[in-house]
Amino acid sequence: SQKIEQNSEALNIQEGKTATLTCNYTNYSPAYLQWYRQDPGRGPVFLLLIRENEKEKRKERLKVTFDTTLKQSLFHITASQPADSATYLCALDADNTDKLIFGTGTRLQVFP
Amino acid sequence: GAVVSQHPSWVICKSGTSVKIECRSLDFQATTMFWYRQFPKQSLMLMATSNEGSKATYEQGVEKDKFLINHASLTLSTLTVTSAHPEDSSFYICSAREQGGLFFGSGTQLSVL
């Protein structure tokens, strides 16, 4: 069956450290993968998109990698800050359609 | 980035009533919008794809007669939850695609008593 898996346990890290979140998928062949941030009671906010032919993408303190062999994407936040505390969702296109399928998200808590 | 406005932010209604949720793309035209539902601590689940000027496409298991979708213009899609019941209580979120990615509304928390 098709699955998108993110670590359901919260990730707690100290301010200034690098946070690394994992997204694994099964039985999908996405053309791209996206990462979103979601705060409680709010809609997701788009962060980064990485295409299947891209290994890595960066945006300010964010870095995303995409390994189509491992079927995995890693999302890194360097020099993390308490304001980075939120739930982070990965999403991919369902078999090259326009529909996005989301993982369950990982809650990140950055403490001072 | 593109702005998607969703209204209302929250609604409380009695069982059996209908609730309409609006989703607007403010600074771009969206021929396609998507409606998601999210239960607490769960992922966003795609309910349907709203197509301007034509019928919506529903995901498997979503009742089209219960969740009525109308996409009458390039900037507005509406979701009507008909004869709402407590099990319909959830967070409903719309989204629209614009060049850079998928942009979401702020969501509507529906509570059915």
Identify the band that residue A67 occupies on the pLDDT scale cut at 50, 70 and 90.
very high
User: Residue B18: what pLDDT?
Assistant: 97
Cβ separation of A43 and B95 shorter than 8 Å? yes
User: Residue B107: what pLDDT?
Assistant: 95
Tokens of A67: 């390994």
User: Residue A58: what pLDDT?
Assistant: 96
Query: pLDDT tens per residue, chain B (113 residues)?
Result: 689 999 999 999 999 999 999 999 998 999 889 999 999 888 899 999 998 888 999 999 999 999 999 998 999 999 999 999 999 999 999 999 887 678 899 999 999 99
Pairing of strands A100-102, A86-93: antiparallel
> Rounded to a whole number, what is the distance in Å from the CA of B110 to chain A's nearest CA?
11
User: Residue A99: what pLDDT?
Assistant: 80
The CA angle B38-B43-B48, to the nearest 5 degrees, is 60
- Report chain B residues whose CB lies below 8 A from the CB of A42: 106-107
User: Residue B100: what pLDDT?
Assistant: 61
Which one of A5, A6, A37, A42 would you mutate to disrupt binding with B, by most B Cβ within 10 Å of its Cβ? A42
SS (H, E, C) chain B: CCCEEEECCEEEECCCCCEEEEEEECCCCCCEEEEEEECCCCCEEEEEEEECCCCCEECCCCCCCCEEEEEEECCEEEEEECCCCHHHCEEEEEEEEECCEEEECCCEEEEEC
Say yes or no to pLDDT of A96 above 90.
no
Which one of B44, B46, B110 would you mutate to disrupt binding with A, by most A Cβ within 10 Å of its Cβ? B44
Using one digit for the tens of pLDDT, what is the confidence trace for A23-44? 999 998 888 899 999 999 899 9
Using one digit for the tens of pLDDT, what is the confidence trace for B12-26? 999 999 999 999 999
What is the share, in percent, of chain A residues with pLDDT greater than 70?
Answer: 96
In the three-class reduction of DSSP (H, G, I as helix; E, B as strand; rest coil), residue A41 is classed as coil
Between B93 and A9, name the one with better pLDDT.
Answer: B93
